[in-house]
Chains A and B, each alone.
Chain A
């Protein structure tokens, strides 16, 4: 409760209101669940930290900097986007939102930004100006709340602004206070799904246009709706197939689509976990802070280049030799990278193509996978294999049973078992362990040429590393051949489609339905063009489906 005392009384009240609103959202869900289990479709999703940053940048410009960290997010079923459904805000998390909001508001009203970001000049900088404040707050509030503000909401915000401005004799202080209120409001921090009667199906409900706009912008741009999208929601055109397709096509052909692609793959590959990744510097001195910072970015740049700029086959992400490197990453991988700029600082991203025959190809050979799913001092084929199945194939491997003896695996000094393959082979003689390890280990062992930091090696404890294995009956000699075998595995494309849908909606798709099979068929017929997959999901009714029982549940309330 100490943190509560740090907040102003007004903010504390706001916090209480916020928690109450979140509780209300959850209670609606619970009510629906009481009525029908299938209707247990959450009505709100907390925006991710990257969406928060992106939205602030889109609305106020990239010069408004957020340096603080947000409360950690929850990963469920392999995605943060699914975890966001069940995310409420802790007291500490709200306090961080409050601090970040104050910091953002302070920057917006500072002398460098106020004349650009506030669309009117107050009559006096030392007094309140309700007209100007109202103009700014209603305009900005619409972009933050993803809907027009109600008259009473604007009045409240203008009133707060006036109180502060008069008290401090500073118009901009008033603006700042109200902007903070906007930024800590659940209407900004949560994406709500609002229902309205469906005129085409009397007695049933549908998402309103603003909810659809919010889903689209979050999915495709990792941000809030822009003015055009909100206008489409206001006009009702988003409720028509043609209007929806027009907006989806506009968004997919916009450069902003790269943000949505980055957000999806960052979530799918678990790249947020780099925040807590560490390596033993004694063993891996080339895993520098720069390399750690750049590793997830390398993968995202590779992906954006392949699926957005080149519109390549999604499956080729696992075999492509094209990537982007900084000098720090090049040193980690042991490849040359010439940066001809003076002093090469700050480090630049340069395109790089691995030569034929190089052991690295595809995003799974990058540090963002092999280093992320390794321990601080040594690799773990089991962890790599487990996350490969979860992230790439949507296959969940159950956790190990309790009381398992890991001493054989962890004893790296045993001369009988010099390599981790030797140790895992011995470990699998325990029938309790064998079942799951047979799923995880063979794939993980294929990547053993990449050490815990992502560097290349051919030996472990002086013994040569064997990276051979078999995938779906196809024998492979190492990671390059494995990823070639993966290329034609239908599980790879089926999984990414499911993940994209889950990222957009927070729930897994109904895979046995005709509409979903249609989405997958169109993905396949486009030669697995990832943007086409995004489009088909974005225009699919599945994404906006509402449980039919929802309205009756609301009416009962």
Chain B
């Protein structure tokens, strides 16, 4: 590892490559990245009881058994259907129909995915732990706030309170929550990549910077491990809906932004978009040049939930999550119903160095540092 990279802190490791970047001014330097990982910011240490002392949510089997009981099956029948499901490792039609059509619309059976509001609330256990990633979105003290495990600041993240006791969300990077994990793999091969350009006078020092989120005209390229290929070149789509220019500052090695609205256009089967009101962000550079970012704000809970409820056969937790999010929504009350339409949330992302070009083919940002193998393997012949 070169000495100049010994410090993991963001601001101390930007290297000043003499690059002619257009249209960036001669004094400024500009680094390019593409997002290669994005998911709900989960906080899980591996302690199964952590934040969920009742442990009553269980896994898929337990959730389905409760759902069956909720629509009139006795416990024995529910267990038998579960057994069939487990033993055949496939969807049992009778079981599927009963579970997935347990919504009741004017007394008639309906799909839970189409009519989540007409499906009884499974009332899952909510996360009651101390920690969650996030940002202080309100600036006011509240018992509902968590403590961020990195900054130790009080933070708002009711999305994590809603989802944090659902098994599929109890993961830690590089594992994503299950639905996000599977849909991301489809997304990256079929949707344009998200780009990040960071520009400042001297990125090796604390100071003001500009962080620009955009979208490439190309899909993400994978590397030989199926991760994200570093140092590839992407053209930033000049006509994308995703074009956020954020005022940022590197301070003490951490890049944060001035809160503002953030919008990233997405695509199904991943999130159709990620929109944050009062968006916050902090970014840390890793020793290998990658960035890890957290971005939080208030997001539309229904649009978040849509990713899971739009998926028939996604198994349990779609309705559980839907109702939990609905209950935990903490901002933007509907004037007529009083139901909050937004929920405090935080996403985690990783970005790898990349070349970025404008629509005319001019390179506007270069990789932070070109990869240099730091070690060598010892498994090859002479």
Nearest CB on B from A282, distance (A): 7
**A532 contacts B by Cβ under 8 Å:** no
Shortest CB distance B278–A (Å) = 34
Contact present for B371 and A460 (CB under 8 Å): no
Q: Are B217 and A284 in contact (CB under 8 A)?
A: no
- Classify the interface of chain B: helix, strand, loop or mixed: loop
- The smallest C-beta distance from A293 to any residue of chain B, in angstroms, reads 12
Known contacts A331-B221, A410-B382; A286 and B370 CB within 8 A of each other: no
Chain B stretch 116-143: residues in CB contact (< 8 A) with chain A:
none
CB of A327 closer than 8 Å to a CB of B = yes
15 new A-B contacts, CB < 8 A, other than A339-B235, A455-B371, are: A281-B225, A282-B377, A285-B223, A286-B223, A286-B231, A330-B232, A331-B231, A336-B366, A338-B235, A343-B192, A343-B218, A343-B219, A382-B382, A410-B378, A459-B374
A328 located at the interface, meaning its Cβ lies under 8 Å from any Cβ of chain B in the complex: yes
5 contacts between A and B (CB under 8 A): A282-B377, A286-B371, A288-B221, A288-B223, A336-B363
- Give chain B residues whose Cβ lies under 8 Å from the Cβ of A282: 225, 377
Q: Which of A45-53, A231-239, A372-380 contacts B (4 or more CB under 8 A)?
A: A372-380
Bound CA–CA A437/B59 (angstroms)? 63
The residue on A at minimum CB distance from B2 is A459
Chain A 435-469: CB-based contact to B (< 8 A → 1; otherwise 0): 00000000000000001100111111110000000
What does the 1/0 interface line of B202-237 toward A look like (CB < 8 Å)? 000000000000000111011111010111110100
Chain B residues whose CB sits within 8 angstroms of the CB of A339 once the complex forms: 218, 233, 235
* A342 and B230 form a contact (CB under 8 A): no
* Complex interface: chain A residues within 8 A of B357 (CB): 336, 338
- Interface residue? B88 (CB, 8 A): no
Residue of B nearest to A376 (CB): B380
Distance of A402 Cα from B232 Cα, bound (Å)? 45
User: Considering only CB atoms and an 8 Å cut-off, how many residues of chain B contact the other chain?
Assistant: 38
A330–B376 CA distance with the chains assembled, in angstroms:
22
Asked if residues B1 and A462 are in contact (CB atoms below 8 Å), the reply is: yes
- 372-430 of chain A: CB within 8 A of chain B: 374-380, 382-383, 406, 409-410, 412-413
Task: Give the complex CA separation of A327 and B224 in angstroms.
Answer: 14
B271: interface (CB < 8 Å): no
Q: Are B378 and A378 in contact (CB under 8 A)?
A: yes
Within 8 A of B (CB), among A268-316: 279-289
A-chain residues with CB within 8 Å of residue B224 when the two chains form the complex: 279, 281, 284-289
**Majority DSSP secondary structure for residues of A touching B:** loop
Q: Which residues from 317 to 347 on chain A have a C-beta closer than 8 Å to any C-beta of chain B? A: 327-328, 330-331, 334, 336-340, 342-345
Whole-angstrom distance between the Cβ of A389 and the nearest chain B Cβ: 16
Interface residues of B in 348-375 (CB under 8 A from A): 355, 357, 359, 361, 363, 366-367, 370-375
Given contacts A343-B217, A375-B381, A406-B382, contact A283 B375 (CB under 8 A): yes
Nearest-neighbour CB distance to chain B for A300, whole angstroms, equals 23
Q: Are A338 and B233 in contact, CB atoms less than 8 angstroms apart?
A: yes
Q: Which residue of A is nearest B363, CB measured?
A: A336
The 6 closest A-B pairs by CB, nearest first: A377-B377, A375-B380, A281-B224, A334-B370, A285-B223, A336-B355
B27 at the interface (CB under 8 A from A): no
Interface string of B102-127 (1 = CB under 8 A from A): 00000000000000000000000000
The smallest C-beta distance from B9 to any residue of chain A, in angstroms, reads 21
- Cα distance A451–B233 in the bound complex, in angstroms: 21
Rounded to whole angstroms, the CA-CA distance of A459 and B227 in the bound complex is 25
Q: Which residues of B contact A412 (CB under 8 A)?
A: 376, 378
Which chain B residues border A451 with CB–CB below 8 Å? Answer: 373, 376
Whole-angstrom distance from the CB of B58 to the nearest CB of chain A? 37
Q: State the CA gap A344–B357 with chains docked (Å).
A: 13
Provide the residues of chain B in CB contact with A342, threshold 8 Å.
217
